[in-house]
Structure 1
C-alpha cells in the first residue's frame, strides 16, 4: 500500500509537469521509478528498461488529458501534425528496439546525459518570432528523431519538440500544446515497442508485462491524468519562467546522481 501511494505521488507530480511544461512527465517518472525499482531489488540489467517502458505507458493516459485541454483552448498547431505524427510513430518503435539492445547501466547513463540536455534547454530563453518551420520532409525527419529519442528515454517528446518549435519561432503556449498532442502517438508506439521487446525476457519480475511494471502503472496513472489537466490550465495562466528554471536545476541534480550511479554500475 505504501508503494502504491508513492507511485500515486510520483504520478501526480509527473502529470503536473506534463501539463505545465509539455514534457510528458517522463523526466519525473523515469528517475523516480529507477530509484523505486532498485529499492525493490529488480535486476539492474532491466531496471531502467522497466522504468522507461512503464513511464511511456503512463504517458499514453497523461497525454490524452493534457492534449485535450490544450485542444479545447485552440492552442494546437494543427497544420504541422500530418507531417509530425508519422515520424514520431516510426521513431517511437525504433527507440524501443534500440533500448532493448542496451545494458541497464548504459541506458541509465544515457538518460542522465539526456536530463542535462533538457535542463540546459529549459534554462535558456528562446525569443518568439515569425514562424519559420521546415517543409514536410524536414518536419517528418525531425519528428522521427524526436520519437526515437523520446521512446529511448521514456519521455513524451516535449523536451525536444518544444525547443524545436520555439526555435522555429512558435510562441510558447502553442509549442507546448502541439507537443502535448504529439505525446500520445509517441507514447503509444514506444510503449508497444517496450512491451514486445521485453515480452519473453527471463529476468522480468512478477506483474511485469514486457518492460512494463503494472503496479507502478496503476498507481501513477490514477493521479497523473487529473494532475496533467491542472498543469495544462496553469500553463495558460502563470508566467512559468521562474518555476521552469527551478525545475531545470532539480533535473541537473538528478542527472548528476543517475550519471554517477550508471557509471559505477558499468564498471562494477
Structure 2
C-alpha cells in the first residue's frame, strides 16, 4: 500500500509535468518506478527496463489525454506536427527494440547522460530560455523533420521519456512560445509511447513473467500513476497559458536538473 500511495502522489506530479512541459511523465516515472522496483523486486532484476516500459505505458494515456485537451484549446499547429510525427514513429520502432537489448546499467547511464546533454544544450545555446517577442515562428527544415524526427523517436522510445525533451528545444528555436512548444510535445509523444509499450509488453522473456506485469510493463504501477495523473491534467490544463514565457522555460530546465540530481543521488 505504501508503494501504491507513493506512485499515486508522483502520478499527480506527472500530470503537472505533462501539461506544463509535455513530458508525458517519463522524467518523473522512470526514477520513481526504478527506485521502487529495485527495493521490492528480487535483486532489482530488470528494474530499469521495467521503469522505462512502465513509463511508456503511462505516456500513452497521459499524452493522448493531454493532446485532446490542447486540441480543444486550439494550441496545436499541424505544420509542426506532420510529417515530423511519421519520422518520430519510425525512429521509435528502432529505439524500443534497441532498449530491450541494452543492459540495465547501460540504460541507466544513457538516461542520465541524455539528461545532462539536454540541460547543457538548453543553457549554453541561444534560443531556448528566451525568444524575441517580435520574431515570427519559422517552419521546420527538412533535416529537422526527417533525420531529426527519426533521432527523436529512437532516443525517446529507448529511454522511455517521450519526445518532449528534444521537440521542445527544436520548436523553441524555431520561435514558438513555450506554451505552444510544450503543447505540441504531447501529440509527438503519442507514437513513441504506443510503439514503445507494444515492444516492451512483448519483449520480456516468458520465464520472467510475474503477476501484475505485461512483459516489462508493471500494470499495477501504471494504474497508480494514472490514478494521480489524469485528474491532475484535467485540473491544471489552463495553467500553461498563464505562465510567463521566461519563467516557463527556466522551470523546464530546473525540473530536468532536479531529476538528474535525484537520479545521481539514488544511483539510478
Shared fold (TM-score greater than 0.5)? yes
**1:151 deviation in Å?**
0.8
What aligned pairs does 1:1-268 form with structure 2 within 5 A after superposition?
A: 1-121=1-121, 123=123, 125-128=129-132, 129-136=135-142, 138-198=144-204, 200-239=205-244, 240-241=247-248, 243-257=251-265, 261=267
Q: Following the alignment from structure 1 to structure 2, what is the Cα–Cα distance between the partners of residues 237 and 135?
A: 30
Conservation of the 8 A alpha-carbon contact between 1:93 and 1:192: no
Secondary structure (helix, strand or coil) at the match of 1:3 reads helix
Cα–Cα, structure 1 residues 149 and 213, in superposed 2: closer, same or farther, change >3 Å?
A: same
Figure out how many residues of one structure are paired with residues of the other and give that number: 259
TM-score where L is the length of structure 2: 0.88
**1:256 deviation in Å?**
2.5
**1:72 deviation in Å?**
1.4
Conservation of the 8 A alpha-carbon contact between 2:13 and 2:229: yes
TM-score where L is the length of structure 1: 0.88
Q: Following the alignment from structure 2 to structure 1, what is the Cα–Cα distance between the partners of residues 34 and 232?
A: 22
**1:153 deviation in Å?**
1.0
Q: Following the alignment from structure 1 to structure 2, what is the Cα–Cα distance between the partners of residues 82 and 243?
A: 28
Q: Following the alignment from structure 2 to structure 1, what is the Cα–Cα distance between the partners of residues 122 and 142?
A: 27
Query: Which segment drifts farther, 202-211 or 146-155?
Result: 202-211
Please list every run of 5 or more consecutive structure 2 residues that lacks an aligned counterpart in the other structure.
none
**1:158 deviation in Å?**
0.7
Q: Following the alignment from structure 1 to structure 2, what is the Cα–Cα distance between the partners of residues 243 and 131?
A: 22
Please list every run of 5 or more consecutive structure 1 residues that lacks an aligned counterpart in the other structure.
263-268
Query: Which segment drifts farther, 120-129 or 153-162?
Result: 120-129
